[in-house]
């Protein structure tokens, strides 16, 4: 049962928010809740940083297919829980992943409706990204095999440890497996909270022994919720902006869900960074979720989240999963050439 009270997260006034965004931009040249780790200095992305995010705008976006593979086989998501992970937090994340292909288990607008946009992407043989996403094996790295601070490279070593473990190693399935390294709220990761909330890449055979698509996403709940769990928390330096209530009662985890969605959509359509992306520089690709970052509903763009929904308890969400609600950013729909999501009002 969901009430369709639309929430328009419009900021106090356009002038205030413009000032705030300029302030933000001066602190972090790229908007801080951008999950991709690098600045895209002179890519089209940066040039249109404040204007690209309105749905319906397509003239500047040149999303191209670069002939590489997309994830067309049933996708299996293997999770590495790094650090201390309360069971309640794991449950929220597992439910989100299980909701991706649960077409009958949740009323629209649903997580599976959101994934449908991702399945519109094909490879050179015309095969679509898989509709099926399943939870695979899980590995706990509670004792922090690589310490409390991870670098971009040591993230790969954590994955190596998980697939080479003597006890219950994670299975190696390069064609269908993706690996999510999820770090607990006291773990520092290179660039985390600066301009990065998560990233995806693939492992190097020289480190891990295989080429495997993986993503890292951090729980920002303690370190920087205003940066990575927006709009459930807001940055201190934007006066007057109020956070909204999170749908599962955990600001850090509810914020992670959208970043997990972001990285899943990009891993599926650009797993080896040679398939679907915009921009001229393959080392700084602008991918299908980057293009719609911060957009959660109709009218979203710039600093404006678009129309979301409120549940009976006043929490804000935009899609239903299996017995839970989530707020997940939209992704680029290359068929219609704009950002789309299951809660679109048209
Ligand atoms: C981006 O450009 C600015 C100056 O225009 C420069 O200081 C900065 O180092 C550049 N960043 C990257 C990642 O190239
Ligand atoms: C992929 O998933 C679909 C639907 O869940 C299932 O019917 C099919 O057997 C699976 N294919 C493989 C190769 O596992
Ligand atoms: C595959 O993608 C194409 C667009 O690229 C779309 O027209 C088609 O409906 C998709 N097929 C499935 C089964 O989703
Ligand atoms: C960035 O801009 C510089 C100077 O304007 C140019 O030489 C370079 O090719 C540009 N890089 C990309 C990726 O567009």
In tens, the pLDDT along 245-270 reads: 999 999 999 999 999 999 999 999 99
Query: Among 110-119, 222-231, 294-303, which is the least confidently predicted range?
Result: 294-303
Q: Give the whole-angstrom CA distance, residue 81 versus residue 119.
A: 27
Q: Which is more confidently placed, 139 or 25?
A: 139
Ligand 2 centre distance from Cα of residue 323 (Å): 24
Residue with tokens 């473990």: 165
Q: Residue 298 has what pLDDT?
A: 93
Q: Give the whole-angstrom CA distance, residue 264 versus residue 280.
A: 23
Arithmetic mean of pLDDT, 65-69: 96
CB 269 within 8 A of CB 287: yes
Q: Which is more confidently placed, 26 or 269?
A: 269
Q: Give the whole-angstrom CA distance, residue 68 versus residue 170.
A: 25
Ligand 3 centre distance from Cα of residue 129 (Å): 9
β-bridge partners, 64: 277
- Helical H segments across 165-278, by residue range: 205-208, 225-228, 251-269
Q: Residue 281 has what pLDDT?
A: 76
Instruction: Check whether 172 has a pLDDT greater than 70.
Output: yes
The predicted-structure confidence for 130-148, as pLDDT tens digits, reads as follows: 999 999 999 999 999 999 9
Ligand 2 centre distance from Cα of residue 115 (Å): 17
* CA 13 to each of CA 26, 160, 207, 239: distance values in angstroms, whole numbers, following the listed order: 20, 49, 50, 12
CA 115, 75, 290 angle in degrees (round to 5)? 45
Q: Residue 105 has what pLDDT?
A: 94
Q: Which is more confidently placed, 54 or 321?
A: 321
Ligand 3 centre distance from Cα of residue 119 (Å): 7
Looking at mean pLDDT, say which of 169-178, 238-247, 260-269 comes out highest.
Answer: 260-269
pLDDT band at 60 (very low <50, low <70, confident <90, very high): low
β-strands 198-202, 319-320 pairing: unpaired
Closest C-alpha to ligand 3, atom 8 = 120
The burial class, CB within 10 Å (0-12 / 13-18 / 19+), for 231 is buried
- Which of the listed residues 41, 45, 191, 194 should we mutate to test ligand 1's pocket, taking the one with most ligand atoms within 8 A of CB? 41
The burial class, CB within 10 Å (0-12 / 13-18 / 19+), for 252 is buried
Closest C-alpha to ligand 2, atom 10 = 74
Q: Give the whole-angstrom CA distance, residue 332 versus residue 292.
A: 6
Integer-rounded Cα Rg, in Å, for the chain is 19
Q: Is 39 in the pocket of ligand 4 (CB under 6 A)?
A: no
pLDDT band at 285 (very low <50, low <70, confident <90, very high): confident
Mean pLDDT of the chain: 84
Q: Which is more confidently placed, 3 or 44?
A: 44
Q: Is 122 in the pocket of ligand 3 (CB under 6 A)?
A: yes
Q: Is 311 in the pocket of ligand 4 (CB under 6 A)?
A: no
Q: Is 74 in the pocket of ligand 2 (CB under 6 A)?
A: yes
The predicted-structure confidence for 89-120, as pLDDT tens digits, reads as follows: 999 999 999 999 999 999 999 999 999 999 99
Arithmetic mean of pLDDT, 147-166: 96
Closest C-alpha to ligand 3, atom 7 = 120
Instruction: Check whether 41 has a pLDDT greater than 50.
Output: no
């Amino acid at each position: 049962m969901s009430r369709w009270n639309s929430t328009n997260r419009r900021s106090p006034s356009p002038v205030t928010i413009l000032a705030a965004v300029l302030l933000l931009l001066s602190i972090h040249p790229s908007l801080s809740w951008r999950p991709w780790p690098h600045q895209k200095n002179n890519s089209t992305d940066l040039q249109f940083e404040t204007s690209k995010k309105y749905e319906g705008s397509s003239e500047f976006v040149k999303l191209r297919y670069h002939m590489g593979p997309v994830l067309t086989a049933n996708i299996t998501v293997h999770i590495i829980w790094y650090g201390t992970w309360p069971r309640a937090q794991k449950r929220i994340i597992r439910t989100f992943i299980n909701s991706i292909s649960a077409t009958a288990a949740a009323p629209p607008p649903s997580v599976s409706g959101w994934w449908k946009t991702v399945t519109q992407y094909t490879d050179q043989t015309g095969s679509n990204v898989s509709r099926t996403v399943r939870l695979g094996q899980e590995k706990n790295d509670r004792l922090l095999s690589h310490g409390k601070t991870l670098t971009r490279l040591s993230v790969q070593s954590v994955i190596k440890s998980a697939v080479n473990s003597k006890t219950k190693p994670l299975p190696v399935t390069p064609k269908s497996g993706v690996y999510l390294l999820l770090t607990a709220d006291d773990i520092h990761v290179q660039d985390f909270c600066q301009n990065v909330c998560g990233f995806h890449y693939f492992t190097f055979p020289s480190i891990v022994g295989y080429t495997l698509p993986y993503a890292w996403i951090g729980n920002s709940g303690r370190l920087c919720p205003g940066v990575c769990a927006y709009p459930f928390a807001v940055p201190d330096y934007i006066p007057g902006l109020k956070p909204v209530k999170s749908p599962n009662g955990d600001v850090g985890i509810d914020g992670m869900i959208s970043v997990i969605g972001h990285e899943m959509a990009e891993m599926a359509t650009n797993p080896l960074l040679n398939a679907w992306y915009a921009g001229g520089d393959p080392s700084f690709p602008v991918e299908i979720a980057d293009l719609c970052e911060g957009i959660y509903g109709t009218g979203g763009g710039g600093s404006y989240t678009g129309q979301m929904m409120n549940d009976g308890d006043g929490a804000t969400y935009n899609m239903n999963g299996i017995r839970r609600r989530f707020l997940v950013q939209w992704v680029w729909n290359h068929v219609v050439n704009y950002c789309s999501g299951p809660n679109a009002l048209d």
